[in-house]
Each structure stands twice: as structure tokens, then as C-alpha cells.
Amino acid sequence: MRKKEVVIIGGGLAGLIAGIHLSKVGIKVIIIEKNSFPKHKVCGEYISNEIVPYLNWLGITISDLAPSNITKLQFSSVNGKIIETDLPLGGFGISRFVLDEFLYKKAIHNGCEVIQETVENIVFDKNEFTITTSNNTILHSEIVIGAFGKRSNIDQKLNRNFIQLKSPWLAIKAHYQGYFPNDLVGLHNFKGGYCGVSKVENDIINICYLADYKTFQQFKNIDEYQNEVVLKNPSLKSIFEKCDMIFEKPLTISQISFEKKKAVENHVLMIGDTAGLIHPLCGNGMAMAIHGAKIISELIEKYCNNEIQLREELERKYIQEWNFNFSKRLNTGRILASILQKPILAKSMMLLLGFFPFILPLIIKKTHGKPITLNKC
Ligand SMILES: Cc1cc2nc3c(=O)[nH]c(=O)nc-3n(C[C@H](O)[C@H](O)[C@H](O)COP(=O)(O)OP(=O)(O)OC[C@H]3O[C@@H](n4cnc5c(N)ncnc54)[C@H](O)[C@@H]3O)c2cc1C
């Protein structure tokens, strides 16, 4: 029997879910997270229902957090032309502020140790990792899960390919109060970006948009950019007119990369955005982070029980399952995003969807998974 111990770097959605899963099946887990909880995060905060059966198995009842129940999608082109459709599976809206803290408490309750420090280095030698943090804490472990998000100092340390490439996207998010339907997620295009709008808990409206840096830097500040670019979409203008911001100022992140990443690098098993970020317009990144955590946890359990004999086999199986479950979704997301960024193609697509609205749910299905249950990825 192998030593049943795993270190997880990053206590966001993917890291916390993996921690909850592994501790539930009797594996000792140490999660290292640089930030404290609760904390707002730049995210659309809409989660597809595909992960609900799995969350239930983990003992996480999402309805306890009183999320909004979302059943419809409203999609608009740059000129504000709207197409509305039912979401094939539906989803819910919950803020990361509430969700991540809830998962953190659940992880602690399950027996995970959470260390609040920044990981500075990971070295793999003689079948063992040595992990060093900013406070000079040194940990050793046979298995390390990388769940450190879209972009981290660890990506630099591991010299990952995507980190060398330019990432021309930034994202802006804030919470609002005002009018927006409870059951709707809005996805509205504007020149050089798209904006997601939906309700989360407590009647709060989350507005989060992705913008290309080249256009953004032509303006003095967020307000000016919003007025001159984002609100040129009349559908978005009418939403913003009915809302007041609750945050003191919006949250921003930059250098968002959608480049391909590897699911295993230097023997670290990557999950969530660390393994690959899907375009936010697909609204499926969080479901993928949760599903990825499930896949790796099940394989690690088999490795600890010697059902999987070798590290190479564990890594090969994980890469296989990751590609099987997520590669097509990521590619569809990339194709959709590039169509929407080309005005003539985007207009043709809107015309097509206008004539044949049944195509929209088919596209949504291509970017989402089926409901996930245990032992069936
Ligand atoms: C603009 C935008 C909108 C989006 N909207 C949606 C949406 O509506 N629906 C959806 O499903 N998905 C959406 N996504 C995607 C979703 O936010 C991500 O896929 C999801 O957060 C991935 O979770 P994660 O655990 O991989 O990363 P994170 O939640 O980012 O967690 C990573 C954690 O690692 C920690 N960390 C990093 N480096 C270190 C270190 N060195 N040491 C210790 N800790 C470290 C960080 O502090 C962080 O807490 C959106 C993404 C963007 C950019």
C-alpha cells in the first residue's frame, strides 16, 4: 500500500473540490492557498448543472447557498440583436465569494489541512516532490496536484510554454443591484469582447466581461471604455441603466491566456484552469474545474490502492481522460470566440441563428458536458 498523501497547490474551485474528494476517500490532503477566504474573484459566476450529481455525492448541497436558478440564455450581437433560448441542462448563479469559502470550510471539515502561504518552488527528484513556500515551509510528497489557476508564479518556475506567449485579454467584474431576471444568463457581444450577466445569491447581479487589451488601452479608464465600447451594444446599455454597482470599484485581471496547456507537466497533475482555460463565453470553466478534480481524484485513489501500479500509468490515464472529456469543448470555444471577433462572420452567424434558433442549444451542448456521476466521467 502506498502512502496516502497528496499536496494540492491552489485552493480555488478545482483544488478545494479535489481536496474534498480525496479526503472523503481516506487520503491525507494538504492544500496550499496564497489568499484567505472569503475573496471575490473575476468570474461570470454561472455554473452548469452538469456537476450537481457529483457535488451531491461529495456531500455538497448547493441549494443550501440559495443560488439563483438559471434556465434561459439571452445572446446578443454587437449591434444588440437578441436571440433567446432555453439552456439544455440549465445552471445556477453563485458568487465565488460565497462558494469558495463554503468549499474551504467543507475541506477543513473533511480533515484537509489548509496552509495559507504562496508556493515559490516545486522540485521533482527521485520520485518525490519538494515544495517550498514563501515562508520557507518545506513539504515533501509523492503526488502533487497543480490547481493554481490561469496564471501563477509556478507557471514561470515550471517554464510552461503558454507563459512565454502574449495574452491580449483582460477581464472586469463587479456586483450590482437593480433589475435583471432571476432565471436568465445574458451573453452580450461588444467590439473586442463579450459580457456575461446573471443573478447570484441574495438578488445580486454579477456583470463580468472579457475585453481585448489593445482596444482597452486606448481609453483613460474603465468608465470611459465601458461608455465608448461596451455600452455601444444597446442590450448591454439597457442592462447597465437598470443597475447600480455595489463594489467600491470593479475587480480586474489581465494577461488571460487561452493557449493550449499540458495536463501533466514535470509530473505535476494539473486541474482546472492550470490544465486549460475554456473561453468564458462558453460558461463552462467552473464545471470543467470540478469535473477535472473528480477525474484526478478517482485516478489517485486507484494509485494509492495499487490498482494503478506506476506513476507513468497514472499520468498517461489522466492525460487520456482529460483529452477525452475536455479537448473538444476547448476547441469549440476557440472556434466560437474567433467567429465572434470577426464582424462579418459574427453577423452571418447571428443571421443563421435568427433563421434557425434551434442551432443555439446544439452549440451550447458542444461546449458543455453531460451530468457527471460517480465512476462515470
Ligand atoms: C472573465 C471570465 C469569466 C468567467 N465566467 C465563467 C462562468 O460564468 N462560468 C464558468 O463556469 N466559468 C467561468 N470562468 C472560468 C472560471 O472562472 C475558471 O474556470 C475557474 O475559476 C477555475 O477554477 P480554478 O480552481 O482552476 O482556478 P482559481 O479559482 O483561480 O483558483 C486558483 C487558486 O490558486 C491560488 N494560487 C495561485 N498561485 C499560487 C501559489 N503559488 N501558491 C498558492 N496558491 C496559489 C490562487 O490564489 C487561487 O485561489 C470565467 C473566467 C473568466 C476569465
At residue 375 the predicted structure's pLDDT band, cuts being 50, 70 and 90, is low
pTM of the prediction?
0.96
Q: Kindly tell me if the per-residue pLDDT of 168 is higher than 90.
A: no
Quick one: angle between helices 343-355 and 359-367, nearest 10? 120
Q: Which atom of ligand 1 is nearest to the CA of 287?
A: 11
In angstroms, rounded to a whole number, what is the distance separating the alpha carbons of residues 135 and 118? 8
CB 110 within 8 A of CB 31: no
DSSP bridge pairs for 245: 176
**pLDDT of 1-13, one tens digit each?**
577 899 999 999 9
Q: Quick check: CB of 46 below 6 Å from ligand 1?
A: yes
**What's the whole-number average pLDDT of the chain?**
93
Taking the C-alpha atoms of residue 330 and residue 67, their distance in angstroms, rounded to an integer, is 27
195 lines ligand 1 (CB under 6 A): no
The residue whose C-alpha atom lies closest to atom 48 belonging to ligand 1 is 12
Distance between Cα 149 and ligand 1 center (Å): 5
Ligand 1 pocket test, candidate residues 55, 152, 195, 297, most atoms within 8 A of CB? 152
Mean pLDDT of 130-144: 97
What is the per-residue pLDDT across 44-82, written as a single tens digit (0 to 9) for each? 999 999 999 999 999 999 999 999 999 999 989 888 889
User: pLDDT tens digits, residue range 86-102?
Assistant: 998 999 999 999 999 99
Cell of 96: 465565488
If you measure from the C-alpha of residue 13 to the centroid of ligand 1, how many angstroms do you get, rounded to a whole number? 7
> Does the beta carbon of 13 lie inside 6 Å of ligand 1?
yes
Report CA-CA distances (Å) from 242 to 130, 235, 246, 357: 52, 11, 13, 28
Mean pLDDT of the 276-289 span: 90
Helix (H, G, I), strand (E, B) or coil at 221: coil
Atom 41 of ligand 1, residue of closest alpha carbon: 119
